[in-house]
Homo-oligomer: A and B are copies of this chain.
Amino acid sequence: MNSPVSSSHTPPAAPPRLVPPRRPLEGYFFDDYAVGQHFYHATPRTVTAGDVALYIALTGARQPLHCAETVAHQLGYPYCPLDDLLVFHIAFGKTVPDISYNAVANLGYADCRFLLPVYAGDTLRCETQIMGLKENSSGKTGVVYVRSHAYNQRDENVLTWVRWVMIHKRELVNPEAQKVITVAAAIMPLVPDFPAVVSPDEWAVPAFIQPSKLTPQMTGSNRFWDDYQLLETIKHPTGITLDESDHTLATKLYQNTARVHVDLHHMEQSRFGRRLIYGGHIISICRALSYDGLENVLSIAAINSGRHSNPVFAGDTIYALSSVAAKWPISHVLGALQLTLTGLKNLDPNLAVTDAVDVVENNPQAVVLSLNYTVLMPRRPCL
């Protein structure tokens, strides 16, 4: 997932502007961004038990750590931490008005790390720095590389991630509009370099966690870290069909304002002719589906890379496959699995006569997600 042209990981420093200029109502375009720009995103959001219930209703997520106070307490948490992806989506939503309101596509994710648990009652806010810019050869769009951070109400950094998005150039959409900022990107393309995989020393493992307290009775499976084989592939058994109302509820819950997800009248003019489902919702659906086969995953340490290969629309049924890409022991009670999570639409891998890898390779049009992420899992208890 690394970009071909590399540069320094840290962009040139730019003094943060404490009072941001007013965002244009039509949003920013590619030529409005400059490397080093810093955004303080608006509309902080307190997460609550209401969000947790909605997340379960929207995805069917079942991980006990995020659903059961009893389990969270036994594992050492003071309260039930929110599902990592719920935190991600709410944080991501904060960045959309400033970063991807006019995005053509979200091209990729990298170096996403979950740094601290988030609990119901915490308030999230976000900041983003422009890390790189590259005009596309068409001259109509460009790619913007950004790093975002989410903070809680104590200004503790709970999440950081990088993404790159393809964004229209302003003059092509609205030739008469004044540019918000004179762009330097066309002159000096800068494509930052991100790690292909978040290194183990960057995972944030809570010091208090007692992994051995996660039992098969809680999760439904006696397969722990030691039981997963390198390159093993798991075909998750069922699928979930997405409909218009549920994906738009998800998008609005996350206060994600990208009109491609919620504005049918607008999208009828697009090449798709309909609303696109937010890619993050696909990640959540695939992860929820992956519960059956990966029941003892505790939490996500990092998302190493990810891309949405094909669009998903209402009516599509999503299936998922997981492969074990790498394994690391962390202690005698905890390990990490690097997993490749593949989302498929309208193709049940369980019905395929070929193996999982062939299913993916033979059906590229069905692949909607390729996510490489690292999870924590208790090691097999000594019985």
Find A80's partner among B46, B215, B251 (CB 8 Å cutoff): B46
The answer to whether A25 touches B97, judged by C-beta atoms less than 8 angstroms apart, is no
A53 with B51: in contact, given A69-B123, A222-B20 (CB under 8 Å)?
Answer: yes
A25-58 residues with Cβ-Cβ distance < 8 A to B are: 25-27, 40-46, 48-54, 56-58
Q: Which of A183-191, A197-205, A239-247 contacts B (4 or more CB under 8 A)?
A: A239-247
Does A128 touch B at the CB level, under 8 Å? Answer: no
- The distance from the CB of A245 to the nearest CB of chain B, in whole angstroms, is 3
A22 touches B239 (CB 8 A): no
A263 touches B246 (CB 8 A): no
A365 an interface residue at 8 Å Cβ cutoff? no
A141 to B98, CA, bound (A): 51
A97 touches B220 (CB 8 A): yes
Within 8 A of B (CB), among A88-126: 97-98, 120-121, 123, 125
Q: Name the one of B50, B245, B383 contacting A48, with C-beta atoms under 8 angstroms.
A: B50
Complex-state Cα separation, A245 to B54, whole angstroms: 13
- Which of B49, B67, B98, B235 is A25 in contact with, Cβ under 8 Å? B235
Instruction: Report if A84 contacts B (CB, 8 A).
Output: no
How many chain copies does the complex carry? 3
Whether a CB of chain B sits under 8 angstroms from the CB of A305 is no
Extra pairs beyond A53-B253, A54-B57, A70-B123 (5, CB < 8 Å): A25-B235, A42-B218, A42-B221, A49-B53, A69-B153
Taking a contact as CB atoms under 8 Å apart, the answer to whether A53 and B54 are in contact is yes
Q: Which residue of B lies closest to A215 (CB)?
A: B19
A315 at the interface (CB under 8 A from B): yes
**In chain A between 319 and 347, which residues have their CB closer than 8 angstroms to a CB of chain B?**
319, 346-347
Q: Which residue of B lies closest to A244 (CB)?
A: B243
Q: Is B43 within 8 A of A252, CB to CB?
A: no
Question: Using Cβ atoms and an 8 Å threshold, which residues of chain B touch A216?
Answer: 19-20, 22, 42
B residues in contact with A2, CB < 8 Å: none
Residue pair A60, B245 in contact (C-beta under 8 Å): no
- A223 interface residue (CB < 8 Å to B): yes
| A22-B222, A49-B49 known; A255 vs B60 contact (CB < 8 Å) | yes
Residue numbers in B under 8 Å from A57 (CB-CB):
54, 249-250, 252-253
Query: A293 at the A/B interface (Cβ < 8 Å)?
Result: yes
Considering the chains assembled together, what is the distance between the CA atoms of A383 and B19 in angstroms? 10
- Asked if A275 is at the interface of the complex by the 8 Å CB criterion, the answer is yes
A236 CB-CB contact with B under 8 Å? yes
Residues of B within 8 A of A40 (CB): 217
Alpha-carbon distance A262/B243, docked complex (angstroms): 10
Is A237 located at the chain interface by the 8 A CB criterion?
yes
Does B263 contact A346, Cβ atoms closer than 8 Å?
no
On chain B, the residues within 8 Å of A223 by CB distance are 22
In this complex, what residue of B is CB-closest to A23? Answer: B220
* 5 A–B contacts from the bound complex (CB under 8 Å): A42-B220, A50-B51, A59-B252, A241-B264, A244-B245
B67 touches A45 (CB 8 A): yes
Asked if A241 meets B218 with Cβ closer than 8 Å, knowing A25-B236, A69-B121, A70-B153, the reply is no
Residue of B nearest to A237 (CB): B25
